[in-house]
Amino acid sequence: MKTALALLLSVPVAFAADKPRIDISKIPLPVPRKVDFTREVYPIFKESCFSCHGPEKQKGKYRMDTREGAFKVTDDYGPAIKAGRSEESAIIHMVCDLIDEMLMPPPSDKPGQSEKLTAEQIGILRAWIDQGAEWPAGPIQEVVRPVTFTADVQPIFAAACASCHSGASAKGAFSVDTAEAVLRGGSGYGKVITPGNPAKSALMTIIAGKDEDLPSPEKHTLPAKQAAVIEKWIAQGAK
């Protein structure tokens, strides 16, 4: 017959067996610097999480736009955010796809609508949690991050457009190699960007796949998130 102590010790073991096993070696490292919640963490939550876990919808009864909601301790996965221990925080396990069928943001059949967090973004979240997961009291004063050509726009063009629009042989003499080249436009369209005004920028119509003057307009379509980055870049002056 088991002793009372043995029975007590068996309880946490039983519960632990029900928890998903996490391979923390697959988690990207924290970024090696101090992280600012307002400027770096909150924008990730807003862009990638609020559509399902924000003020209007709370899937799984989990809400991320408030500190109280974001730090919820779940029955199945433990604390969503464990200050000082990012490797033990369920939110990190989920964004790293380490729990079966619990990848966050969840996959979508609509390109660009639900994209996995990058290693850099996960590193930012990890560093914030490891540094104490500080969440300022009161409403969050949102910061508009400048969108730059080099950091944000050029990688999109390089992956999606450079095969046809790069170097001296760029089609239509339209090159995406530099911001100056993009702003200069090409021989067929002329200038396709009006800095500060996306609505008057022909490029937005092109990357939406709606320019009927092109032989195959749909081939120029970019995912919605990428188009949104370019739109912000133009709106901020295309610098």
* Cβ contact 157:176 at 8 Å: yes
Q: Return the pLDDT at 112.
A: 47
Task: State pLDDT tens for residues 45-81.
Answer: 888 888 888 888 888 888 888 898 889 887 778 899 9
What average pLDDT does this structure show over 130-159?
A: 89
Top-confidence residue, 136 or 24? 136
Among 103, 130, 157, the domain boundary falls at 130
Among 73, 98, 130, the domain boundary falls at 130
Find the helix or strand (DSSP H, E) in which 93 lies: helix 90-95
Q: Return the pLDDT at 221.
A: 92
Task: State pLDDT tens for residues 125-137.
Answer: 999 999 999 999 8
Compute the distance between CA of residue 38 and CA of residue 36 in angstroms, rounded to an integer. 6
Domain that holds residue 110: 15-130
Q: Residue type at 106?
A: P
- Residue 9 is assigned to a structural domain of this protein: no
- Residue 1 is assigned to a structural domain of this protein: no
Domain co-membership, 97 together with 21: yes
Domain co-membership, 126 together with 190: no
126 SS3 class: helix
Top-confidence residue, 62 or 111? 62
- Residue 8 is assigned to a structural domain of this protein: no
Give yes or no for a cis peptide into 215 (omega within 30° of 0): no
Cα–Cα distances (Å) from 94 to 119, 121, 178, in that order, read 13, 13, 37
Q: Could you tell me the pTM of the whole model? A: 0.63
Domain co-membership, 87 together with 116: yes
- Residue 83 is assigned to a structural domain of this protein: yes
- Residue 217 is assigned to a structural domain of this protein: yes
